[in-house]
Amino acid sequence: MENLNIVILGSGNVATHLSKALDKNGFTIKQIYSRTAEHASQLATQLQCQQTTSLDNLVSDADMYIFSLSDSVYQSHSEVYRFLTKRKLWGKLLVHTAGSVSIDIFSDFSDRFGVFYPLQTFSKSQDISFDNIPVCIEANTTADLHILEKMGKKLTDNVLFITSEQRKLIHVAAVFACNFTNHFYTLANEILKEKNVDFDILRPLIQETAQKVQTMPPEKAQTGPAVRFDKNIIKKHLNLLSFSSKLKKMYSFVSESIYDYHKKNKQTS
């Protein structure tokens, strides 16, 4: 298992963290492909492996090819797709790491394919331990599912068998839980800037808000004027936001959603 030779296609956030974690856990990264020479070179230097910026130079003797590229390359007009059409990789295990892409995109190019989707927000500049990251795996055969499971378990305690259908919806849920919440941190910062207050003041609150739902279901952790339907405070807040019609609109919209959700769930419980 540890002698598995792997080619990584991609040099973005997921490719970087995943290839480093594989390397650290005894897997051999044979080659890094990236369209951008500088990115390929940076990552290949760290992993002491080959690099290429051309798909034509992809080594053919690896066991597994992990595609960790932006979702658009899996569309039929893309360079990668054209390459795979030209040079099928029958017998090789082709794996992608994308939330929103079906398992069967590789079915025309190999008889072995799967998904290895780590559910986390990665930044190149921020080190992160893989230990606890949920990895959603899927494969077209039981044998390859077992290979991905063993590989996953070397990296994390949190390997999950997830279908393409489930994974796609998990990806949408992750947009709400990560991308949208981060945007609300950004909007909060915009509000503070109005009165020259530093974002630092919100950091402990943000951390505790995330901490609370580590053990509680989020609907039980809901606090604030909207869930209490405190019209008086809501009105005050909307007045305070009169400097921005966008923020006012967002405040009303989300407050209404909170109120509707909890009213409905109260009635049905």
Shortest approach of a copy of itself to residue 21 CB, angstroms?
14
Shortest approach of a copy of itself to residue 247 CB, angstroms?
8
Of 57 and 180, nearer to a copy of itself (C-beta) is 180
Q: Which residue has the tokens 């899927």?
A: 138
Of 50 and 206, nearer to a copy of itself (C-beta) is 206
Shortest approach of a copy of itself to residue 152 CB, angstroms?
14
Of 54 and 196, nearer to a copy of itself (C-beta) is 196
Shortest approach of a copy of itself to residue 89 CB, angstroms?
25
The crossing angle, in degrees rounded to 10, of helices 13-24 and 142-155 is: 80
Of 143 and 175, nearer to a copy of itself (C-beta) is 175
Shortest approach of a copy of itself to residue 81 CB, angstroms?
14
Q: Regarding beta strands 135-139 and 112-118, do their DSSP bridges make them parallel or antiparallel, or are they unpaired?
A: antiparallel
Of 83 and 122, nearer to a copy of itself (C-beta) is 122
